[in-house]
Each structure stands twice: as C-alpha cells, then as structure tokens.
Amino acid sequence: MTRRAGLLLMVAVGLSAAAPSESADQKSLWSDAVEQAKTAYQRGHLTDAIKAAEDAWHIAEATFGAEAANTAASLHQLGTFYAAQHDLNKAEDFLQRAVAMREKILGAEHPDLAESLDALAAVYTQQGEDDMAEPLRQRAVQMKQKILGKDHPSLAMSLYNVGKAFYDSDYFNEAETHFRRALDIWEKTEGPGHPDVAYGLIGLALVAKQQARYSDAEPLLRRALTIRERAFGPAHPLVEEAIKELALLHYRAGDVNEAKSWYQRALEIKERMVGRQAIELVPYLSDLAELHKRQGQWPTAEALYSRVLAIREKTLGPDHADLITSLTALAKVYEAQRRDAQAEPLYQRAATIAEQRLGLRHPTTVGLIDAYTTLLRREQKLEQARAWEGKIEKVKLGP
C-alpha cells in the first residue's frame, strides 16, 4: 500500500465568453463545443472531452484568429484536459501558449491569466519542477487577491493548490492552513454542498490522516463523498477518489475489513470506467490482494494477483520488467500455502526477467534469486540452486 495517495490539483476548465464584436452565430458555435468538452470532462470522459476541446480550438482559430482571447481560452482548456490525462508534455505546451497569449491580449493582471498560471504550475508540480511551479502559483494567488478580492472561489482554488504543494513537501501545518482557508471561501461563496467544497474537505482529511487524527479525517471524507455522489452520480473519477481515500484511511488506522470494503467499491467504479482488462486497474487489484494476504485469505489474494499478472502480460508483453512484481507476489502466496511446486516456475520466470531487464547486480534481482534458491534448496533441487547462486557469486567476484 502506498504511503499516501496523490491529492488532486485543481484547475479551472470554464472559459470566458467570446469577444462582443463577434457575431452571435460565431460565438455560439465555439461556445457549444466548449460546453460539450466541459460536460464530458465533468462526467469523467477524458477522451471525449479532449476531442471536443480540440474542435473548439480549431473553431476559435478559424473564427477569431490565431491570437484571440477565445483561442487562448481553448488552449487553456486543452492543456488542463491533457494534464488530467497525464500527458504532461502536451499539457505544458498548450498551457505555456495560453499564458503567453493571455498575457499579451489581456495584460499582466487578469483573472484568466491567473487561471492559466495556476494550471501551468500544476503541470510543473506533476513533473517534479517545483522551482518553476512555485513562482507561478504565488503570482496567481497575489493576482487573484488584488483583482477578485479575498473571498472569491477562484482565489480558493489557488490557495488549495498552494496547500497541496505544502502537503506534498510534508509541511502539514501550512497545508492545513491553506486548505482550511480555501474551504471557508468555498462554503461561504458557493454553499456547503458545492463540488469544490469536497476538495477542501479531502485536503483537510489527508492532513489529519498524516497526523494520525483518524477520527477527524473520516467524517471529512464521508462528507466529501456525499457531495460528489450527489453532484456526479455513483460512478465518476472524483467519487472513486473519495472512496479510495476512505479505504486508505481505514488501512492506515488498522481496520483492514473496512479498508477492503471501501477498496472493493473503488475497484468496481474503476472497472466501469476503464473495463475489466485495463492496466489502470493494477494498483487497485494489487492493494486489495495485499489486504486479503495480510488476513491469510489466500484464495482471494491468489485470484487477485493472478488477475494482475494476466492484465500486465496482455498489456505489456511476457517479458516486461513490471511482471517481476506480479510473478513474485503470486509466488509468495503459493509459498505461504506450502505450494512450492506452483511457486517455483513463477520464481524462475521472475528471476529470468530480472536478470535480463535489470541485471544481476540489481538489488531486486539479488533478492529474488535468494528467495528462489531458498525454495529450490527446500525442494532438494540443489544443482539448480547452485547454478543461480553461482551467477550472483560470479558478479560479486567481478571480471
């Protein structure tokens, strides 16, 4: 299980209206495409959202020109969608263009420019470029405070993103301050049931979890889940995120049964979104298998790990390095049940892939071969064990 789940960054996907000089028909054609993209995004249909946003961008360029406020707005929307799809290179390109165009057209201090700065900072953060993200994020906060005032929902979004940056750097007190301020603004301006409120609640909950304040975290997460279910329905990425956080919270608190229940719900939603054979299911299946393994529920753990292995084989091929983890996990389940005959070929295959992909000097390979040879010796297959041990010794001795 991961130490903590990734807290989602917030970006604005709503766009400014067309310039008043354009005809109503021109504005309507672009606006319809923008709204179609936004609706698809809100429903969790990223591929459809990107296609509609690309259509809006092309309409904007043809109708308003290559350097116009509407075109910049479409660039911003496309950048945020690509970021949500984790295509960070495309996201960075579109958002850099949106920032440059908005600064040129709208001036150095404008709310729309602040939104693009925020979104670009979020991409830099995902790329691990915190030094590039921080000045953009601070500029966006200062700009919004000056232009929009201290109680505007857009400012709350920027404060939330600053809080996330503190959270990711383990400055939990500072993160909590920013999350709470963002939450207060959202509740005041948008109401306690608005979807934005859920972001602030989850941020505060994750800080509480990191500080082992589990009883404080759970009601925050449950409230966030209720808000998102009412806003988006039961099968949406944001609903799944809230459910997954509840699973991780209960796991952290030592309540494995409750964690399994929540994790199963998250898995079922993810399956409805991506299908039963998608590689995106692997973290969910693996973590759920780990929970069952910890309780000695071997048949269920075996079935889940087998499914992970099958998905990875189909998606990545039979010799991909990621198969090492799946083969080893399944082998250990068999080993724990004294089913060494079934564990042995899995260890052998994992060791062979590790040797080919990672090399004999890699710690993963060394540890895997040690586990494999221990099993071989237990089975009295001494010649095979010595052959694998000899490979490691040869590497240690050098040329």
275-399 belongs to which CATH class?
A: mainly alpha
Delimiting residues of CATH 1.25.40.10 domain(s) in the chain: 1-144, 149-262, 275-399
The residues near 90 (Cβ < 8 Å, ≥ 6 apart) are 78, 79, 82
The residues near 300 (Cβ < 8 Å, ≥ 6 apart) are 289, 292
Per-residue pLDDT in tens (0 to 9) along the chain, 399 residues = 544 445 655 556 555 544 444 556 667 889 999 999 999 988 878 899 999 999 999 999 999 999 999 999 999 999 999 998 889 999 999 999 999 999 999 999 999 999 999 999 989 988 989 899 989 999 999 999 999 999 999 999 999 988 988 898 899 999 999 999 999 999 999 999 999 999 999 999 999 999 999 999 999 999 999 999 999 998 888 999 999 999 999 999 999 999 999 999 999 999 988 899 999 999 999 999 999 999 999 999 999 999 999 999 999 999 999 999 999 999 999 999 999 999 999 999 999 999 999 999 999 999 999 999 999 999 999 999 999 999 888 876 665
CATH architecture for the domain at 149-262:
Alpha Horseshoe (1.25)
Side-chain half-sphere CA neighbours of 285 within 13 A: 23
| H-type alpha helices, 191-322 | 195-210, 214-232, 237-252, 256-274, 282-294, 298-316
Whether residue 125 contacts residue 9, with contact meaning beta carbons closer than 8 Å, is answered with yes
Burial of 324 (C-beta count, 10 Å sphere; 0-12/13-18/19+): buried
Q: How far is CA 351 from the centre of its chain?
A: 30
Protein fold of 1-144:
1.25.40
pTM summary value: 0.78
Q: How far is CA 237 from the centre of its chain?
A: 10
